[in-house]
Amino acid sequence: MGFDVAAAREAFPILQRQVNGKPLIYLDSAASAQKPRAVIDAMRSAMESSYANVHRGLHTLANETTDAYEAARRSVASFIGAAEGEIVFTKGATEGINLVAAGLGARLQPGDEILLTEMEHHANIVPWHFLRERLGVVLRFVPVTDQGELDLAAYQDLLGPRTRLVAFTHMSNVLGTVNPAQRLTEMAHAAGALVLVDGCQAVVHQPVDVRELGADFYVFSGHKLYGPTGIGVLYGRAAALADLPPYQGGGEMIAQVSLEAITYADPPHRFEAGTPPILEAIGLGAAIEWLKGFDRQAIAEHEQRLYARTLEGLAGANWLKVIGEAPGKGAILSFLVDGAHAHDVAQILDRYGVAVRAGAHCAEPLMKRFGVTSSARASFGLYNTEAEADAFVEALTKTQAFFA
């Protein structure tokens, strides 16, 4: 079917603006993607014409909003090959991981092991440290090779009789490495461990089928998927969700409440205490339906061409160091400029209208693994063009001249 980037760009109002007198070149989608008109319109329409709280109302507005909210759940389920009851709406992927950690923590014992990797985002490290601090759980980490791949032999060796959970990123937000999630899951299950996958980056850039993947839990955020902030998704196998205790208490997550006792609702509502992110869920549903109108494979190929074009344009730049060169990686370029701090590089690029991320990218252990404290990162989205890739190369070359 192909992919028409010019037509796709027309859906994003913000791409028409200028920054410092230059056309905006937005290369920070790995942190948060821009929003298409379909998302903006869906959320505005819900606020203007049919907003009310969901599930408990009997009037027209409540019914309309509930229908829209649950339609978003169905869109998410269809998008990743899940059942509707396996989709929990959270305020973000971070909350989804914390939800699972809190639930599992109720039955872990001192000395039980959780296996992570050196390339994890802090969101997939810190909640497990809570269990280490509070319960005496042992954390182990799969090392990363110089190319930016997981050491699979070490992974196999680290799986042991006390491993209760393996949690890993499907695609690194720093390296762009796409991990063999299905294989890692099979190996973990063979060792008797549950599996949680951080899909925040992967679900944006490639089709994800959670049934095929086989993981027990899969999380992602709306704001990286061209949807709004304040909304995330926790997928859990029906049996895995049913085995978790509630994460928070309040309205909606109960079946019955009395002064003497309570009973809980079935998943997913068991994990959606209080008023949920209604408008944000509707916006996420709109983002997914909009994205489903494109050929996902064609988008992936488009993004890969941009990444390859950028590398080609920077070939021979002996002042540039790229972090992460795993085969088949996603369109994320983390880099260092000789003699320059990443923050300074980002600020100078901004003078040319180029938006990149700079810092540790919420991945300090990975930065330490590669012997750096920070890096700059250019991440490509479906709306970026070859002309923008060329302009980035030109702007980065000019930026380097400041430090030569």
> Per residue in 304-342, pLDDT tens?
999 999 999 999 999 999 999 999 999 999 999 999 999
Taking a C-beta distance cutoff of 8 angstroms, is the pair 216, 72 a contact?
no
Question: Which amino acid belongs to residue 147?
Answer: Q
pLDDT at 348 over 70: yes
pLDDT averaged over the chain? 97
CATH of 5-31+295-401, one of 2.40.50.140, 3.40.190.10, 3.40.50.970, 3.90.1150.10: 3.90.1150.10
The domain limits of the chain are 5-31+295-401, 41-291
What number is the average pLDDT over the span 284-302? 97
pLDDT at 57 over 90: no
CA angle 92/94/100 to nearest 5° reads: 110
Structure token digits, residue 174? 């720093």
Instruction: List, by residue number, the catalytic residues.
Output: 362
Peptide bond into 268 cis (omega under 30): yes
Q: How confident is the model at residue 297 (pLDDT cuts 50, 70, 90)?
A: very high
Structure token digits, residue 262? 């309570």
The set of residues, in sequence order, having a beta carbon less than 8 Å from that of 202 and lying 6+ positions away, is 169, 170, 171, 178, 181, 208, 220, 330
Domain 41-291 falls in which CATH fold?
Answer: Aspartate Aminotransferase; domain 2 (3.40.640)
The set of residues, in sequence order, having a beta carbon less than 8 Å from that of 368 and lying 6+ positions away, is none
Q: Quick one: which of 283, 327, 314, 293 has its CA closest to 376?
A: 314
The total number of residues shown for the chain amounts to 404
- DSSP 8-state assignment for residue 14: G
Q: How confident is the model at residue 1 (pLDDT cuts 50, 70, 90)?
A: low
Same fold, 5-31+295-401 and 41-291: no
